[in-house]
Amino acid sequence: MTISHSSIVEKAADATARATPSSVARRVRGLSDRAIAWLFIAPAITLLLAINIFPLLWAVYLSFTNYRANRPNAPVVGVGFGNYQRVLNDPDIWQAMQTTAHFVFWTIVLQTVIGFTLAYLIDRKFRGHAFWTTIILIPMMLSPAVVGNFWRFLYEPQIGLFAYAVSLVTGIPTSDIQMLGNVTLAPWAIIIVDTWMWTPYVMLICLAGLRSIPDYIYEAAEVDRASPWRQFWSITVPMALPFIMLAVLFRGIENFKMFDMVTLLTGGGPGSITEVASITLKRAAFESWATGRASAFAIILFVAVFGLANIYVKALNKVKQR
Query: Given CA atoms 7, 12, 14, 15 in this order, what sign does their dihedral have?
Result: positive
Q: Does 176 bind other proteins (CB under 8 A)?
A: yes
267 binding other proteins? (CB under 8 A): yes
Of the two residues 33 and 275, which places its CB atom closer to other proteins in the complex? 275
The answer to whether the beta carbons of residues 190 and 278 sit under 8 Å apart is no
Residues 6+ apart with CB under 8 A from 158: 174, 175
Rounded distance between C-alpha atoms, residue 12 and residue 63, angstroms? 32
Whole-number Å distance between alpha carbons of 96 and 75: 31
The yes or no reply on residue 63 touching other proteins (CB under 8 A) is no
Number of residues in contact with other proteins under rule CB under 8 A: 35
Position among 81, 286, 302, 306 found at the interface with other proteins (CB under 8 A): 286
Among 119, 192, 193, 290, binds other proteins (CB under 8 A): 290
* Cα–Cα distance measured from residue 152 to residue 265, given in angstroms and rounded to the nearest whole number: 6
* Max CA separation in the chain (angstroms): 83
178 forms part of the interface with other proteins (CB under 8 A): yes
**For 18-90, where are the E strands, in sequence order?**
none
**2 contributes a contact to other proteins by CB under 8 A:** no
Segment contacting other proteins by CB under 8 A, of 7-15, 117-125, 180-188, 247-255:
180-188
* Residues 119-158 as x/- pattern, contact with other proteins by CB under 8 A: ------------------------------------xxxx
- Sorted by sequence, the CB contacts under 8 Å of residue 197 that are 6+ apart come out as 139, 140, 142, 144, 147, 261
Among 30, 43, 72, 75, binds other proteins (CB under 8 A): 72
Among 183, 303, 311, 313, the residue binding other proteins under the rule CB under 8 A is 183
CB of 149 to other proteins, least distance (A): 12
Choice from 82, 139, 144, 269 touching other proteins (CB under 8 A): 269
Residues with Cβ within 8 Å of 151's Cβ and at least 6 positions away in sequence, in order, are 162, 189, 193, 196, 265
Regarding 82 and contact with other proteins (CB under 8 A), the answer is no
CB of 51 to other proteins, least distance (A): 18
Residue 295 binding other proteins, by CB under 8 A: no
Residue 27 CA: distances (Å) to CA of 23, 32, 225 = 6, 11, 65
CA distance 178 to 62: 42
Query: Residue 89 interacts with other proteins (CB under 8 A)?
Result: no
Binding of residue 71 to other proteins (CB under 8 A) = yes
Residue 83 or 112 with smaller CB distance to other proteins: 83
Q: Are 79 and 66 in contact (CB under 8 A)?
A: yes
263 in contact with other proteins (CB under 8 A): yes
Q: Which residues contact 159 (CB under 8 A, 6 or more apart)?
A: 153
Among 46, 143, 170, 272, binds other proteins (CB under 8 A): 272
CA neighbours within 13 Å on the CB side: how many for 318?
6
Interaction of residue 102 with other proteins, rule CB under 8 A: no
* CB nearer other proteins, residue 139 or residue 270: 270
Residues at the interface with other proteins (CB under 8 A): 69-73, 92, 155-158, 160, 174-176, 178, 180-183, 263, 266-273, 275, 283, 286-290
